[in-house]
Amino acid sequence: MTESKIRIIGVTGMPGSGKSVFADHANNRGYQTVVMGDVVRAKVLEYGYDPTPDTSRKVMMELREKHGEEAVAHLTCQVIDKLTEEGNNKIIIDGIRSQAEVKHFRKHLEDNFIIVAIHVDPLIRYDRLKLRGRSDAPKTEKDFAKRDEAEISLGLGETIAFSNYILCNNRTIDSFEELSLSLLEDLEKVV
């Protein structure tokens, strides 16, 4: 890959799959990460709301109702355009959910865009989400199942199914690091 070639990798996966871990490995190789949730949180602040998970969800749904399912992807592309204008040619998009978003990215970013899906056994994801201890972590398996259903209803399953690459993250963090770095090295060789 030539130094000026732009490579944008969209990362998708269910909650707790390791998307941000993959992004961290990419950051160590010179990639810059754009988190779609951060793009929504910026709008939340712009509108004068407190940046809570509920207000973020509300603003995301309002954006989608007003501007279409690809609304957050459109805003994300504006961030990516600024980064590429500043000379950043290796970018990770963390948090792609729907095929409408994928279509928007493919149209806007053309051949520079690919998708990597991170897959993990649901029971492992559930345990990882509980261990993270974040405020939005599911309290019960029933909460976990409801959250997964909500993600699937946004089109996440289809996006995972049609990704360019799938990494399995069922093992140790070290083995996932090896897989991640190996894929990133292979992608950087592609011209």
Each residue of 59-72: pLDDT tens digit?
998 999 999 999 99
pLDDT averaged over every residue in the chain:
92
Residues 163 and 12: their CA atoms lie apart, in Å, by 8
Say yes or no to pLDDT of 116 above 50: yes
Assessment of whether the complete model's pTM goes beyond 0.95: no
Q: What CA–CA distance (Å, rounded) separates 127 from 141? A: 10
Q: Which domains does the chain have, with CATH numbers?
A: 7-185 (3.40.50.300)
Express each pLDDT in 125-150 by its tens digit.
999 999 988 777 888 999 999 989 98
Q: Residue 191's pLDDT is what?
A: 53
**DSSP one-letter string for 20-49:** HHHHHHHHTTT-EEEEHHHHHHHHHHHTT-
Q: Which pLDDT tens digit goes with each residue over 15-52?
A: 999 999 999 999 999 999 999 999 999 999 999 999 88
Q: Region 89-112: what's the mean pLDDT?
A: 94
